[in-house]
A and B are shown apart, each in its own frame.
Chain A
Amino acid sequence: METIIREGSPKTPYVMLDGEKGLIEIKGRSIPENSVEFYKPLIDWLDTYGEDPKDTTTVNVQLEYFNTSSSKCILDIFKKLELIYKKGTKVQINWYYEEDDEDMFEAGEDYQSIINIPFSMFEMEE
């Protein structure tokens, strides 16, 4: 399966979707005006990956900032992962946030409360 790598930009995060390793990483900032345009190809990739996923899929999310327009798209990604998880494969979401960043911690809690999937939060020291 094709691996997608997107380098980060001032408004969009670094993204890696590696179908061979079952590894997904989203890092940096996600504040584009048109989030749907940015996330659509990633969601399409997940649809294809979900047809024949690896036994274990690990998802690392380490965002510095994200806007409310991205928040819905990030949830869409998690919902796709939830479908994969429900098929019986292992899926683990790791949500990283900087020490003292209560806003990012709470954002993690929001997702944790909405989706039914193993979701761990990790505080990173500055």
Chain B
Amino acid sequence: MGFDLDKWVLHKMQGEVLLHYVGEITSDKITEALTKIESNLNIKNEKNIIRKKVFNVFVECIQNLFHHVDESPKASDIENKGKFGIIILAKDNSFYRISTGNFVRIDKINIIKDRVDQVNSLSDEEIKSVYRDILGNEDITIKGGGGLGMLDIVRKTGNKLEYSVYTYNKELVFFALDVYIS
């Protein structure tokens, strides 16, 4: 039995879902999502510090998809052929959860896993120091923040990144990431 995308989405729709997007991640779609979050009353009524954290971390998560996702499988069940990604912002009791999912070529998954494992292995102080080292380093890619995104998420949330990898077909896996903001 292969990976069931719909089932995964459904599973991640637990709690109070504030935003749910499945499709091509474009600059315009990101703007739309951010506007929607900002106008959400629950978030508006949050304490300033939480509201800003949720927004900031959401920006990093969705732009991480924008910069790094691989093309979706050209299968009939997923019609998008561009930068296909999924992002869900939900509130589970006292914390916010941002779940993202995207397809990754099998040959690239170990690099991503190693990267997340490495970020997760760092203490708060180490995160801060590695972040500064990378920021101060000249050689940052034009694409994004040169690997600062993951560090920034962990630094701002104070929580480890939780991920799962599901086999999709011979070429692709589905990479799912959960970020908690408490």
Contacts and interface: CB of A to CB of B under 8 A. Distances in A.
B71 interface: no
Contact of A67 (B53, B63, B136, B142): B63
B100 to A, nearest CB: 15
Nearest to B31: A10
Nearest to B26: A33
Nearest to A114: B136
A71 B156 contact: no
A126 B52 CA distance: 14
A65 B59 CA distance: 10
Contacts, number: 64
B140 A10 contact: no
A67 to B, nearest CB: 5
B148 interface: yes
Given A11-B31, A69-B63, A114-B136, A36 B142 contact: yes
Interface size class of chain B, counting residues whose CB lies under 8 Å from the partner chain: 20 to 34
A33 B48 contact: no
A65 B63 CA distance: 14
A67 B27 contact: no
Interface in A100-114: 100-103, 106, 110, 113-114
22 contacts: A11-B31, A31-B59, A31-B63, A33-B66, A33-B67, A65-B55, A67-B63, A67-B145, A68-B60, A69-B63, A69-B145, A71-B145, A72-B148, A75-B135, A101-B49, A101-B52, A102-B49, A103-B53, A103-B56, A106-B155, A110-B131, A114-B135
- What 7 A-B pairs come out closest when comparing CB atoms? A68-B145, A68-B148, A114-B136, A68-B152, A72-B140, A69-B145, A31-B59
Interface of B: 27, 30-31, 34-35, 48-49, 52-53, 55-56, 59-60, 63, 66-67, 128, 131-132, 135-136, 140, 142, 144-146, 148-149, 152, 155-156
